[in-house]
Amino acid sequence: MPTVFEVLRAQSKAEKDAERIVLKKEETELLWIASDPKRLRNAVLALLGNRCVQCGFSNPKALQIDHVFSDGAYQRKAVGYTTKKFYIDILLGNVPRNSIQCLCANCNWMKRETHNELKRFK
C-alpha cells in the first residue's frame, strides 16, 4: 500500500504532466498560427476584438494594430524586433494590453495627424 506521500507525489506528477500537455498543445498551436503571416495577423486582430476601437469598423482588410503610445517606430528599430515577433509577443501576453489597440486605417491616419506623427517633406 502506497504511503500518503507517494499518493501526493503521484498526484502532483499527474498534474504536472497534464500541465505540460496543455503547454505543448498551446505551443504547437502558436507555431501553427505563426507559420502563416495572415493567420498570425488575424489571431492578433481577434484578440483585440476584430473592430476599430474608435468607430467600430470591422473589415479586417483595413484594420491595423496600433501602438497606443505611438512607440511602434521605436520598437521596430530595436534590433531584430520584427512584426512577426511583435505579434507573437502579443499572443503570448508579453505586450501590455493597454499599449496596443485595433484601429481602422482611417482612424489610424487621423490619429497620426492629430498626434503629429506624419513625416513631412522638408
Report the interface residues with Zn ion, using CB under 5 A.
Answer: 52, 54-55, 57, 104, 107
Angle at 81 between CA 75 and CA 85, to 5 degrees: 115
**What is the spatial distance between Cα 63 and Cα 38, in angstroms, rounded to a whole number?**
13
Nearer to Zn ion, 57 or 75 (CB): 57
For the CB of residue 112, give the shortest distance to Zn ion in the complex, in Å: 13
Shortest Cβ distance from residue 46 to Zn ion (Å)? Answer: 17
Q: From CA 80, how far away is CA 68, in angstroms rounded? A: 22
Nearer to Zn ion, 52 or 90 (CB): 52
Task: Please report how many Cα atoms fall inside a 13 Å half-sphere around the Cα of residue 65, on the Cβ side.
Answer: 23
Least distance in Å: CB of 59 to Zn ion? Answer: 10
Choice between 34 and 109, CB closer to Zn ion: 109
- Are 89 and 42 within 8 A, CB to CB? no
The smaller minimum CB distance to Zn ion, of residues 85 and 109, is found at: 109
Other beta carbons within 10 angstroms of residue 106's beta carbon come to 14
- Least Å distance, CB 73 to Zn ion, is 21
What is the grid cell recorded at 34? 505563426
